[in-house]
Structure 1
Amino acid sequence: MTGYGTSEIQSTEWRCTVELRSVNQRFLDIRLKLPAGFQNREKEYRNKIKGFCRRGKVECSVKIEPLAGENGWVLDEDRLQEMNGLVRLIEDSSEHSLQVQFRDFMQLDVIKNQSPDLLPESCVELIDQCMVSALQEFKQMKSQEGEALCTDLNERMVSCSKMVDELEQEAQGQGKAHFEKLQQRACDLLDQVELQPEKLNQELALLCDRYDVSEELVRLKTHLAHLENLLKELEVGKKGEFMLQEILREVNTLSSKSNNALISRIAVDFKNELEKMREQLLNLE
């Protein structure tokens, strides 16, 4: 499910920013980007995110930076003068010009990072507060999208229920109509052949039984009722996808058994609606 949440909190010395974003994916994939010194807390942050996500690709970025004071990058001017003197001495001795790059200043400690390698305990608390705030905003956005998707799915459920009623109404008397039609055709083709009526009717009844879709209609109603109950639960996605597969299987069976053009048309519309529902369920958790 698509979601986004961000939070920024600062103390007297530090500023923390947490950004969360997620896109649809079948399984849960959490990717964390943490500041140096916080890799040992990755499992803790993953567990917090898992409490708000069951599937999807989730990216979480945590940044912390000093506000002022001794923290940050500084230029060692005395070191810089020493380096300049050495560079000129080498150039005069070798009669070659040296190409000094920025990374050389870093390696020779001309530019230093005075931020501590291990951040103080106050930064841990700051990140925890920022993470909770970002997750709440993240959850709110996902909840709004989930409610909209469930509303759309419920409307499509009503449409599917109506189509089941149409199928049931159209299928009534279909077996009897096929029986009478086959009986008439058999009599027309075999009018010169003497047959036992009981044997003929038995064979015709077996043929007509293949057109009976009452079992499929019962299972369709059951599956739709089950799916409707699933939409009221917290976790819908994977269970809902399974139920849609079962519903589609029943519709395909019903369509193949029927020899009715109207039933075939309703089945096509039914499958089209199921495909739209499947796409929506892929966005739900």
Structure 2
Amino acid sequence: MTGYASAQIGAAAASAEGEPRTGPQRRLGMEMRSVNSRFLDLSFRLPDELRSFEPTLRSLVTAKIKRGKIEVRAAIEGQDGNALPDPAPRMLQRLASVQDTVQSWLPDAAPLSVAEILRLCGAAAPTADTPADEVTQLAEAVLAALLAARAQEGVRLVAMLRSHLKLLRGLTEQAGPLVPQLVEQQRQRFMDRWREAMGLAEGSATPEAAQDRALSEATAFAIRIDVAEEVTRLESHITEIERLLTKGGEVGKRLDFLIQELHREANTLGSKSSALELTRISVDMKVLIEQMREQVQNLE
């Protein structure tokens, strides 16, 4: 299921010596996105300072979500998003010395740009430690909001599935009364074949041979028109899907299987059909089932 959630909190970062840092307060922001997927696929986009929290975040997400493509992003920024770090004079002296050494050996080497100096100074500076409880607290809040968003979509999907199941059950009920009619039609066809066989048997075949042919025809007809079993299984699968939707929980994979079985029975119903009306019912069933299949893959 799809969903999106984000939140921010103030990050009370500490210096390398463990003392609170002065200056603009930093903010820890996190967002989680979820899109449809048959399996659980997690991806993380974290700054280096938060990379060590990936196992913790992964455990939090996998404990609550079993299906979907989930992307977790986090960032740490100051109140002034345009603020640039102040390079230490000692670091600048060190970079100037290194640059002079490189250019003495490689005269054609390009001098360092301002952007490169800022990047090198930032990489060499000690990183602030973000408290683990703040990261966990923020992740739990964002995850709860994401689950709420996914639940809202789940309610909509369940309502759609119930509507389709109602239509599917109606088609199944239409198919049921057609079975005796088809049997009667095929019985009449069998009697015609029987009379034909008896006519061919007069003077050229024994009654036993005619009877064997008639029995073979009757057996073939019975196998071809027997769709009562398919109708019964369709009703059973529809009832089970309705039960799972009422029960809730992690039912996505079981629903996947039941939808496959529904399609199998509807397809068999159409292949055995000897009446135009039953063929139409089979086609309408397969259209509904295919629409349900697309949505069931979004449910957890």
TM-score by length of 2: 0.80
For 1:270, the equivalent position in structure 2 comes to 285
TM-superposed CA distance for 1:85, in Å, is 9.7
User: Would the alpha carbon gap of residues 115 and 20 (structure 1) be closer, same or farther in structure 2, given more than 3 Å must change?
Assistant: farther
- Deviation digits for residues 185-237 of structure 1 (CA, Å, limit 9, x no counterpart): 44246525234686565344313321111111111111111111121221222
Paired amino acid for 1:209: A
| Corresponding residue to 2:162 among 154, 159, 164 | 154
Task: Kindly report the root-mean-square deviation, in angstroms, between the aligned alpha carbons of the 2 structures.
Answer: 3.2
- Deviation digits for residues 99-141 of structure 1 (CA, Å, limit 9, x no counterpart): 422366358x7x4568643505xx3222122111111211111
TM-superposed CA distance for 1:256, in Å, is 1.5
Where does 1:181-220 land on structure 2 (aligned, <5 Å)? Answer: 181-188=189-196, 190-194=198-202, 195=207, 202-210=215-223, 211-220=225-234
TM-superposed CA distance for 1:52, in Å, is 2.7
* Contact preservation (8 Å) 2:10, 2:27: yes
* Contact preservation (8 Å) 1:76, 1:112: no
User: Would the alpha carbon gap of residues 58 and 45 (structure 1) be closer, same or farther in structure 2, given more than 3 Å must change?
Assistant: same
- Deviation digits for residues 67-94 of structure 1 (CA, Å, limit 9, x no counterpart): 58xx972133576579779989999x99
| Corresponding residue to 1:19 among 3, 20, 31 | 31
* Contact preservation (8 Å) 1:66, 1:72: no
TM-superposed CA distance for 1:261, in Å, is 1.0
Say if 2:151 is the partner of 1:143.
Answer: yes
Say if 2:274 is the partner of 1:259.
Answer: yes
Q: In the comparison of the two structures, how many residue pairs are matched?
A: 277
* Contact preservation (8 Å) 2:28, 2:74: yes
* Contact preservation (8 Å) 1:36, 1:117: no
Say if 2:188 is the partner of 1:180.
Answer: yes
* Contact preservation (8 Å) 1:74, 1:113: no
User: Would the alpha carbon gap of residues 104 and 15 (structure 1) be closer, same or farther in structure 2, given more than 3 Å must change?
Assistant: closer
| Corresponding residue to 2:238 among 224, 227, 237 | 224
TM-superposed CA distance for 1:283, in Å, is 1.1
Find the residue that maps to 2:64 and give its secondary structure.
coil
Find the residue that maps to 1:4 and give its secondary structure.
strand
TM-score by length of 1: 0.83
* Contact preservation (8 Å) 1:73, 1:114: no
Give the % identical residues: 28
User: Would the alpha carbon gap of residues 239 and 10 (structure 1) be closer, same or farther in structure 2, given more than 3 Å must change?
Assistant: same
Unaligned 5+ segments in structure 2 are: 13-24
